Amino acid sequence: MALLDVQNVSIEYTTEEGNLKAVDDVSFSLKIGESVGLVGESGCGKTTLAKSIMRLLAKNGRISEGKMLFKGEDLVTKNDEEIRKIRLKEIAMVAQSAMNALNPVQTVGDQLIDGIRIHTKMNRKEAMERSVEVFKMVGLEAKRLKSYPHQMSGGMKQRAIIAMALTLNPSLIIADEPTTALDVVVQDRILQQVVEIQKKIDSSMILITHDISVVSETCETIIVMYGGKIVEKASTKAFFTKPFHPYSLGLNNAFPSIHEIGEELISIPGAPPDLRQLQTGCRFNKRCPFRTELCIKELPPLEEVGPDHFSACHYNKDVEKFREASGHRETWEAVRERIIKELGSDAE
């Protein structure tokens, strides 16, 4: 049985300008111990999807369709009390800039101990011992438990937050850009540590990032989102050697191989779709070098293209040709020109 089985989930926000579908009919499953990298540009729905698993959507957001089976039980239909019990103990989240979530007037140790005691029957002494243990796991000295947040560096605070998320050995860790606020060297070290701990306690992990190189180092599986939909899902190995979706081909261009270092990277021209507008056809069609009339009219289904490898493109069968063409700067330059032309004719 999958640990998490997300089935046809859509999530909408109500805004003054109408409804915005941030996640659109998304399905995927996560095995016990599996780590998945969820990637895509800003605004593609990664955080919305992650928060919905914890049922922490903003007030104007709601899961409008679908099921999220966690250990066989649907998280979508659980009441507040049931979901509170699951949070932290079963599913823990390290959010973007989580370090701001620390209480400034309480020592981090007391915050950790309180968290443990709310969710377990441990007495203060036992909770203290567990806190020392998890602090060590994330590379913090036990004496740091007595510190107030302002007495710690950004990296230390983020480690403390990760320690809090891991104290109760959750079955699922959701890490949403857990280290973006930190410098690159510290980021790397902390991420490696999170992965080590995740393996040690045999948790599954969803790591959200816009940086696919992070996924290549830390995750077994990659899910690429675009405009609220999954466009590709593959093992990390298959994704970096044989990507299928044209958006993934573009992302791979921004991930230089050793040979290409020094060359200017090729980026994908244009911007993601505005989800406040009704979407038709393939969400990537405006920026895709290979689009046809069909792509503009019809949404491609997520098709199996290899073992546990899925891609949502009408032209998966032409991938060899696309892979070759996508490595050339001119291919994307032509898209840039097309976008400019279309913008011009829209304005007329």
CB nearer to ligand ATP: give 39 or 313. Answer: 39
**Where do we find the tokens 């490898």?**
309
Nearer to ligand ATP, 126 or 211 (CB): 211
Q: Which residues contact 174 (CB under 8 A, 6 or more apart)?
A: 50, 53, 54, 91, 92, 93, 94, 205, 206, 208
Q: How far is the CB of 246 from ligand ATP (least distance, A)?
A: 19
CB of 59 to ligand ATP, least distance (A): 8
Closest separation in Å from C-beta 96 to ligand ATP: 7
CA 285, distance to chain mean position in Å, is 23
For 327, other C-beta atoms within 10 Å of its C-beta total 14
Sequence-ordered list of residues with C-beta below 8 angstroms from that of 56, at least 6 positions apart, any chain:
93
Q: Count CB neighbours of 268 within 10 A.
A: 22
Among candidates 211, 216, 172, 238, which has minimal Cα distance to 6?
A: 172
If the CB atoms of residues 287 and 314 are measured against ligand ATP, the closer one turns out to be 287
Q: Of the two residues 97 and 316, which places its CB atom closer to ligand ATP in the complex?
A: 97
Closest distance between ligand ATP and the C-beta of residue 285, in Å? 18
The structure tokens listed for 184 are 């690159």
CB of 272 to ligand ATP, least distance (A): 8
Is residue 324 within 8 A of residue 249, CB to CB? The reply is: no
Minimum CB separation from ligand ATP for residue 287, in Å?
16
Q: Taking phi first (over 0 means left), then psi (-120 to 50 degrees means alpha), and beta for anything else, what does residue 104 get? A: alpha
> Do residues 11 and 75 lie in contact, with contact meaning Cβ atoms separated by under 8 Å?
no
Residues in touch with ligand ATP (CB under 6 A): 13, 15, 20, 22, 40, 42-48, 58, 60-61, 210, 275
Nearer to ligand ATP, 21 or 144 (CB): 21
DSSP for residue 90: T
Output the CA–CA distances (angstroms, integers) from residue 103 to 9, 114, 347, in the order listed.
34, 12, 50
Which residue number, 4 or 275, has a Cβ lying nearer to ligand ATP? 275
CB closer to ligand ATP out of 41 and 114: 41
- Minimum CB–partner distance for residue 324 and ligand ATP (Å): 30
